[in-house]
Amino acid sequence: MVPKLFKNSRQAFKAAIYQLSMLLLFSGSLAAAAGIPEGNVVSLSHDPSNGDIFVAYPRTLYRLDRETYNPVSIPLPADVDQLTAVVATAEEVGTLYLASPGIGVLLTRDQGASWQVRNTGLPSKDVTALIGHAQQPGTLYAVISGMGIYRSENGGDEWQLMDDGPDNMTDVIVHSDMPDSMQTGWIFAGTEAGVSRSMDCFCLWRETGPLTGANTALTYDPNQPSHIYAASAQGVSVSRDGGASWATIATPNADITALLATASGALYVGTHSGELFLITDKTKRWEPLNVF
């Protein structure tokens, strides 16, 4: 015969399990209803005109304004797998570029109310990376795997092939206005073995200092253009000499999929699990941005 005390404890335990399961179910339904994104952080970009941060997930785009996520409407068809990049420029407030395999490059000048295709000169719509020039708002660079790096100097109206890119490129690039270039700056590109760099005249690709593993994200410090951040499966490394040497820095998550440094002294990290973290010159510590 089971004592009454144990019966009551068993009933209480079952009730607690039931309540927990219902809470989890409700939470999941609430999350879905609220539109919380699923998947990794695909891309991060900063609007220098107003300080907004744009966060791209596989099929959703958000504007981060004072730690509040605001969804941006994007025309992503059901048969298109995911976004590959978001680029905000200083052209004017509300100007954004998107890239996605199957769509190519899209432009909005009204914060997502309407979008225009910008693919003239591209041999394929399968754009796997897109970045903006560090100082020229109308200059963009697009990567098409196996076909090279293309440049537009008129806001995406026309594209021209510039270079095949370095060997074993991972479709990760960033433009920095680091000095000592024959033109206006440098292109840093991720590879399966680390990072390569070339002046933006695309004169010659050279490997930077040694890094371990395939590069998954790149960014540069607008205040100190020779400071480059690179992510791999081992975490985030920083070079303070344009890639000649690298040092590992502590990060909250080693599975980094996106990086962004801003002129305000902030460094954002996006992860494979969809989380976003921030460290600033003032706080000196990583803080999660759980704003959904």
pLDDT in tens, 89-148: 877 778 999 999 999 999 999 989 999 999 999 999 999 999 999 999 999 999 998 999
Token duo for residue 45: 């970009």
What is the rounded CA–CA span in Å between residue 144 and residue 161? 10
CATH number of the CATH domain containing 46: 2.130.10.10
Which helix (H) or strand (E) element contains residue 2? Answer: none
Cα-Cα-Cα-Cα torsion 25, 43, 69, 278, nearest 10 degrees, comes to 100
Q: Is 90 part of any domain?
A: yes
Note the helical H segments in the chain.
4-34
The chain-wide mean pLDDT, for the chain, equals: 86
The reply to whether 17 falls in a domain is: no
What does the angle CA 46 – CA 51 – CA 53 come to, to the nearest 5 degrees? 40
Length of the chain, in residues: 292
30 lies in some domain: no
Q: What is the largest CA-CA distance in the chain?
A: 89
Whether 4 is in a domain gets the answer: no
Q: Say how far apart CA 247 and CA 263 lie, in whole Å.
A: 21
Residue 181 belongs to some domain of the structure: yes
Q: What is the pLDDT of residues 25-44, one digit of tens each?
A: 333 333 333 445 678 999 99
What residue numbers bound the domain in which 284 lies? 41-288
Using alpha carbons only, give the angle 77, 80, 84 rounded to the nearest 5 degrees. 115
Q: How confident is the model at residue 28, as a pLDDT?
A: 32
Question: 257 with 41: CB under 8 angstroms?
Answer: yes
**Paired residues of 105 in beta bridges:** 99
Would you say residue 176 lies in a domain?
A: yes
d(CA 70, CA 53): 10
Mean pLDDT of 203-231: 94
pLDDT category of residue 50 using cuts at 50, 70 and 90: confident
Q: How many domains does the chain have?
A: 1
pLDDT of residue 91: 76
> CB of 63 within 8 A of CB of 73?
no
8 A C-beta contact, residue 167 and residue 218: no
Can you tell me whether residue 252 is helix, strand or coil? Answer: coil
What local confidence, expressed as pLDDT, does residue 68 receive? 80
**What does the pLDDT average to over 149-168?**
96
Which residues 6+ apart lie within 8 Å of 1 measured at CB? none
- Alpha carbon dihedral 172, 176, 179, 181, in 10-degree steps, equals 50
